[in-house]
Amino acid sequence: MRMARVAVLASVVVVCGAAFVFRGDIQRKLGFAPANAAENAQPKGRPARPAAGPVPVVVITVAPKSMPVIVEAVGTVQAISSIALKSRIDSQIMKVNVEEGALVKEGDLLFELDARTLKAQLGMIEAQIRKDQAQIGQAKRDSARADDLLTRGAGTVVTRDTNVTSQKALEAQYEADVANRDSILAQISYTEIRAPVSGRIGSIPNKAGTTLRVSDNAVTGVLATINQVDPIFVQFAIPQFVLPDLRTAMAKGEVKVNAVMDNGTRQGGAMAFIENNVDPNTGTVGAKARIANANEGLWPGQFVKAEVILGVEAQALSVPAAAVQLGSQGPYVFVVKDGNTAEVRPITIKRTQAGESVVGSGLTAGDSVVIDGQLRLVNGAPVTTKQAPVDAPKSTPPPRG
């Protein structure tokens, strides 16, 4: 009986051991388990042991070159002028002379309002002015006769003073009527609504026949809105640490700004305005650039990328952004030493623009930097190199965090 129990126990041990060996073999084949105990000791991430045989890589030779100093920001296109057209008098729209969405020039007649009542009032006041002029002429003649009679001793001082007073009263009435006429002429001018600036007109909700009231302007009285689109503003915010460099560049002259659209098209302009305070919540400063927009490639409300060009760094060292790797100690690249060995080289990055990273420290002119194949490399790995062609397209940089 005891011998039977020992046999059963031995069978269980053999089966369990076989199962363990089988499970480990399956895990290794599927990539879930290390092949040996040495692999368990490797740190997570890139393997510490070199691959078998030299790793083929593509390299470039670092050389100094001119690189623009560019600050990038997300911008919003903004019309320089956005003017809501409203009626200044109670009237009725008689004619609409513009189509919705049309491009208009400053001074174009857009809306005609009913001016018949005002023109009738104008006729009345002009007739009153002519009457005033006739009465003033008669008063002047009466005053002259009274003066003559007084000189001859046939008149009285009272009569002379009365005539002078009447003349001055008529002249004051004339001036009041002229002012009244000017007021009516101004109101008649309000019946012709013209474009105050050149730009693109928006929707026109009120058509011919609509009655307009000044009291309704806040709600329904907007006839249309004109946006000045050429030139146009691009509004954006820059980090506060860039502000001193930007102000220094603006003090030297015009600072170029590019508006980059989704399709990569660029439209150039210049800095126009910097806000007079830093936003304490975001640590940024608002700014605007004036961009030429004759082709209307930029549209109010559109999001674009703003590139502020602060200057040019004449002897900059740069590498393709795809060559830069990120580790626990910061960015680094692989440099090929002695023609066949990869070396990890920590670097600092000044800025990344147009697919290139400008290096602040860690590299010198003449270093061979790996730009393709570095994912298989470790420090000290043997490599075989191939020089990248000069016109080779740059690798797409990794997305920024």
pLDDT of amino acid 163: 87
Q: φ and ψ at 308, to 5 degrees? A: -95, 120
Q: For residues 42 and 244, give the distance between their C-alpha atoms in angstroms, rounded to a whole number.
A: 47
Among 98, 150, 47, 11, CA closest to 378: 47
Residue 113 clears pLDDT 90, i.e. is over it: yes
pLDDT for 245-275, tens place per residue? Answer: 999 999 999 999 999 999 989 999 999 999 9
% of the chain surpassing 70 pLDDT: 83
Residues 6+ apart with CB under 8 A from 241: none
Among 98, 78, 101, 82, CA closest to 293: 78
pLDDT of amino acid 177: 96
Contact 288, 282 (CB under 8 A): no
Handedness of CA 183, 186, 190, 191 (dihedral sign): positive
Q: Tokens 């860039």 — which residue?
A: 242
Class of domain 71-81+229-313: mainly beta
pLDDT for 340-393, tens place per residue? Answer: 899 999 999 988 887 889 999 999 999 999 999 988 899 999 999 888 876 544
Q: For residues 193 and 388, give the distance between their C-alpha atoms in angstroms, rounded to a whole number.
A: 65
Equal CATH topology for 55-65+314-387 and 71-81+229-313: no
pLDDT of amino acid 160: 84
pLDDT of amino acid 30: 35
Q: For residues 170 and 160, give the distance between their C-alpha atoms in angstroms, rounded to a whole number.
A: 16
Q: For residues 160 and 142, give the distance between their C-alpha atoms in angstroms, rounded to a whole number.
A: 8
Number of H-type helices and E-type strands within the chain: 5, 22
Q: Is the peptide bond before 393 cis (omega within 30 degrees of 0)?
A: no
E strands within 39-146?
A: 55-61, 65-78, 82-86, 91-96, 103-104, 109-113
Among 131, 253, 115, CA closest to 188: 115
Q: How many Å from the N-terminal Cα to the C-terminal Cα in the chain?
A: 71
Provide the residue ranges of all domains of the chain, joining segments of one domain with +. 2-40, 55-65+314-387, 71-81+229-313, 85-227
Among 150, 149, 191, 143, CA closest to 167: 143
pLDDT for 191-242, tens place per residue? Answer: 999 999 999 999 999 899 998 888 876 556 789 999 999 999 999 999 999 9
Average pLDDT of the chain to the nearest whole number: 84
Measured between alpha carbons, how far is residue 384 from residues 53, 219, 314, 337 in Å? 10, 74, 33, 11
**Concatenated DSSP letters of 193-234:** EE-SSSEEE------TT-EE-GGGTTTT-EEEEEE--SSEEE
DSSP 3-state assignment of 50? coil
Burial call 228-253: b when 16+ CB within 10 Å, e when fewer: bbbbbbbbbbbeeebbeebeebeeee
pLDDT for 10-38, tens place per residue? Answer: 443 333 444 433 344 434 433 344 433 33
Class of domain 55-65+314-387: mainly beta
Contact 79, 233 (CB under 8 A): yes
pLDDT of amino acid 215: 83
pLDDT for 65-107, tens place per residue? Answer: 998 898 999 999 999 999 999 999 999 999 999 999 999 999 9
pTM for the complete prediction? Answer: 0.65
pLDDT of amino acid 4: 43
Class of domain 85-227: mainly beta
pLDDT of amino acid 181: 96
DSSP 3-state assignment of 70? strand
Lookup: tokens for 175: 């001036």
Residue 9 clears pLDDT 80, i.e. is over it: no
pLDDT for 266-320, tens place per residue? Answer: 999 999 999 999 999 999 999 999 999 999 999 999 999 999 999 888 889 999 9
Q: For residues 269 and 249, give the distance between their C-alpha atoms in angstroms, rounded to a whole number.
A: 15
pLDDT of amino acid 43: 37
Q: For residues 109 and 201, give the distance between their C-alpha atoms in angstroms, rounded to a whole number.
A: 13
Higher pLDDT, 149 or 136: 136
Burial (CB < 10 A; 0-12, 13-18, 19+), residue 258, is buried
